[in-house]
Amino acid sequence: MSNIHNISATVILRNHQVILNEKVVFETAEDLELSLFLKACYQDLEIDYGKFYKMDLLSKLGFIATEYLLKDQKLNPETALILQNSAGSLETDTNYQASISDKNAFPSPSVFVYTLPNIVLGELSIRHQLQTENAFFISEKFEAPFLIVYLQNLLSTQKAEAAICGWLDLDKDGYNVFLSLITQDEKGNALTAENLKENYEQFKTRA
């Protein structure tokens, strides 16, 4: 097998649609609450993973996107997770702040544990038994060139054999998820900043 890594699959979650490799594979009404959309996705996937219901929304977004991205594939344990967003874990941070501001309420440990954006990486690593590097970067916008440099360093030094990378964002204005699976699959598209950006730019409006 070639040592060259390619983009072997891409998933997008936007506007209450799941778009896998440029094809809409699941959708609901756009006015559905995000939590209900994610629950509908979970049911569509027909999986049994009780911890899903305990996750915050950012982790649920990452979990659902990864499940669609893999679709019955088993990940190599040496798969790195490299994600970006612009809001960190702000949605969960805001909820936790509200809970500690209420003098009559007891702060929830189950909410506090998700007040770091990299918690989603831990959830995915546990789910898929990953044992190599992961990182979550905060950026004003999706930075494909940065991801490419970081990924190429990991892959060329054999710190990872594959990767899931992309954008996983959630704030008061909505959500935006774009993940790519990077493997040595020769049928994939070349791993370049241009290809990553082109894939990310797709389906900004409802397909």
At residue 172 the predicted structure's pLDDT band, cuts being 50, 70 and 90, is: confident
Distance (Å, whole) CA 202 – CA 135: 24
Is 6 in a helix, a strand, or coil?
Answer: strand
| Amino acid identity, position 106 | F
Lowest-pLDDT choice from 46-50, 103-107, 110-114 = 110-114
pLDDT at 62 over 80: yes
Mean predicted lDDT score pLDDT of the chain: 88
Domain positions in the chain are 6-200
Where does the pLDDT of residue 1 fall: very low under 50, low under 70, confident under 90, or very high at 90 and above? Answer: very low
Query: pLDDT tens for residues 112-141?
Result: 455 556 789 999 999 999 999 999 999 999
CB neighbour list of residue 137: distance below 8 Å, 6 or more residues apart: 82, 83, 84, 143, 146
Over residues 57-75, mean pLDDT: 94
Tokens of 144: 């494909």
| 107, pLDDT greater than 90 | no
pLDDT of residue 92: 54
Nearest partner of 179 among 87, 16, 63, 74, judged by Cα? 63
Nearest to 42 by CA among 20, 67, 72: 67
pLDDT value at residue 187: 86
**Under CATH, which architecture does the 6-200 domain have?**
3-Layer(aba) Sandwich (3.40)
Q: What is the mean pLDDT of residues 73-95?
A: 80
Neighbours of 125 (CB within 10 A): 17
* pTM of the shown model: 0.88
Amino acid at 55: M
